[in-house]
Amino acid sequence: MRPNFISYCLLIALLAAGSICSRAQSSPQNVIQISGVVMTADSLRAVPNVTIQVKNKNRGVESEYTGVFSIVCYKGDTLEFSCIGFRPKEFIVRKDLQGDYFSLIQLMVQDTFYLPETIIRPLPRGDAFDYAFLNWRIPNDQYEIARRNTDAYVLRALAYTLPKDGHEAQSAYLQQQARDAVYYGQNRPMNIFNPLAWGEFFEAWKRGDFRRKSNPYANGY
């Protein structure tokens, strides 16, 4: 009877200790907010879409386009950083951290992953291929979008159609002022004194550009 009583007392003591530890961990003093940025280790470039998850718990966040993230956890938890193309990293939140906020810069190292073999098979029927070729609309990837946006013809058309921005307007105004300053206090030169203009005039005279064209209906009326 005595051994059963001792076992019962030990069980109660263990449950009480576990309850005390659980209360101590879940107390507001142990809650901390981790904010930081995820960057590459070689070039310090921001890494977007990194999954930051509390280890062994169903809680986590994802870094923004600039690599910034913020997550709330308990002191003593372990944060897992994972992203496609990078090696996973872990950060242990120390229990002796002071305060409710902590800033972190997590560096990620790029890694090479070997994907399994992919077998591409044709469509089962010819008419299915014809329908897919005519009706499927495959969206453009980022490389194709960037190539179209930087096309020379597109940039030339935008340069002719879009209005001038502040820098271009200021440059045109300064150029106009510089041309006005050259002939300040005097009349601008006229093309009547330009020998090149006279040369073009004589060439046009020789070609007969100034001849009066005959009217085909002049004799009939």
- Indicate if the alpha-carbon torsion angle 75, 78, 83, 89 is positive or negative: positive
Of 14-18, 29-33, 153-157, 210-214, the range with the lowest mean pLDDT is 14-18
pLDDT computed for residue 128 by the predictor: 81
Q: Are strands 51-54 and 89-92 parallel, antiparallel or unpaired?
A: unpaired
**79 domain-assigned:** yes
pLDDT digits (tens, 9 = 90+) for 103-115: 999 999 998 777 7
The CATH number covering residue 70 comes to: 2.60.40.1120
**89 domain-assigned:** yes
**100 domain-assigned:** yes
**120 domain-assigned:** no
For residue 83, pLDDT over 90 is answered with yes
Average pLDDT score over residue span 54-60:
90
The domain in which residue 10 lies consists of 2-108
Q: Which two tokens stand for residue 199?
A: 């040369």
Q: What does the mean pLDDT of the chain come to?
A: 81
pLDDT band at 131 (very low <50, low <70, confident <90, very high): confident
Question: What is the total count of domains within the chain?
Answer: 1
pLDDT computed for residue 210 by the predictor: 75
**128 domain-assigned:** no
Whether the CB-CB separation of 50 and 84 falls below 8 Å is answered with: no
Average pLDDT score over residue span 76-90:
93
The residues pairing with 103 across neighbouring beta strands, listed in sequence order, are 35
pLDDT computed for residue 155 by the predictor: 87
pLDDT computed for residue 220 by the predictor: 45
Q: What is the DSSP string of the chain?
A: -HHHHHHHHHHHHHHHHHHHHHHHHTSGGGEEEEEEEEEETTT--B--S-EEEETTSS-EEE--TTSEEEEEEETT-EEEEE-TTB--EEEE--TT--SSEEEEEEEE-B----PPP------SSHHHHHHHHHH--PPP-HHHHHHHHT-HHHHHHHHHHSPP-HHHHHHHHHHHHHHHHHTTTSPPPPGGG-HHHHHHHHHHHHHTTTSPPPPTTTTT-
**179 domain-assigned:** no
**187 domain-assigned:** no
**84 domain-assigned:** yes
